[in-house]
Chains A and B, each alone.
Chain A
Amino acid sequence: GQQVMQIPQYQHVQEGEDFTTYCNSSTTLSNIQWYKQRPGGHPVFLIQLVKSGEVKKQKRLTFQFGEAKKNSSLHITATQTTDVGTYFCAANSGGYQKVTFGIGTKLQVIP
C-alpha cells in the first residue's frame, strides 16, 4: 500500500532556530496534508497542497510540494515554544479518499 516516509523522527532545536521536516513517497501523490499534534492532543489540520511545486505560507510556517508531487516539506522559521508537538504529513493517491499518515516528526523547542 501507499506509504509516506517522514524524516527526521525527532528534532530538538533552540528557541529561535529554524526547523524543517520532510515527507517522501515512492508514488505520485494526489495531494498532501500537514497536521500538528500537541502532546496529549489530537491531530489538527494545518494545510493541504495539491499543485506541483506549490508553496504556501502561514506566518512562520512554509509548506512546499515537490515538482514531481512525490515529496513535501514543512519549514518553521524562528521556532517558539508554542511550536512544540508532532508534525505529520498525510497523503493520498490513486483516487482514494482516505489519507495515509507518516510516522511524524516530534519537535522539541529548548527555551
Chain B
Amino acid sequence: DTGVSQDPRHKITKRGQNVTFRCDPISEHNRLYWYRQTLGQGPEFLTYFQNEAQLEKSRLLSDRFSAERPKGSFSTLEIQRTEQGDSAMYLCASSRGTGSSNYGYTFGSGTRLTVV
C-alpha cells in the first residue's frame, strides 16, 4: 500500500462545468476526509466518511458539492457548475478510528483545481 492516492493531480476547467475528483485511501483506514486548502490558509474541512456513511458535511459547503464513498473504499468529490471561487487544492485524507477516538491523518498529494 503506497498511501493515499488522488486523481487527477491537476484540473483546469471552465466556469460552469462539472468536475469530479477521486481519492483512494489507505485500505486499512475506515475514515476518509475531504479538505480544501487555499494559499496561505490551513486545510478547511468539507466532509467526512466512516466506512460508506457520510457522517458530517461542512455547513459552509454549497449544494453544488457532493461526495460519495460507495462500499467504503474509494471516494469521489463532485463539484457542479464550478465557480472561480472553487479554485483551490482539494485534499483527501484517511485515518483509522473508532467511536470518538481519533488518529493522525494521512493526506494525499491533492488535486489542484483551477476554474477559468
A interface residues with partner B (beta carbon < 8 Å): 6, 30-31, 33, 35, 41-48, 88, 90, 92, 95-104
Contacts and interface: CB of A to CB of B under 8 A. Distances in A.
B107 A43 contact: yes
The 10 closest A-B pairs by CB, nearest first: A101-B42, A45-B104, A42-B107, A95-B100, A101-B43, A98-B48, A43-B107, A104-B42, A103-B42, A98-B45
Interface string B81-105: 0000000000100000100101111
B42 A48 contact: no
A98 B43 CA distance: 12
A103 B56 contact: no
A102 B102 contact: no
Given A42-B91, A88-B42, A104-B42, A99 B107 contact: no
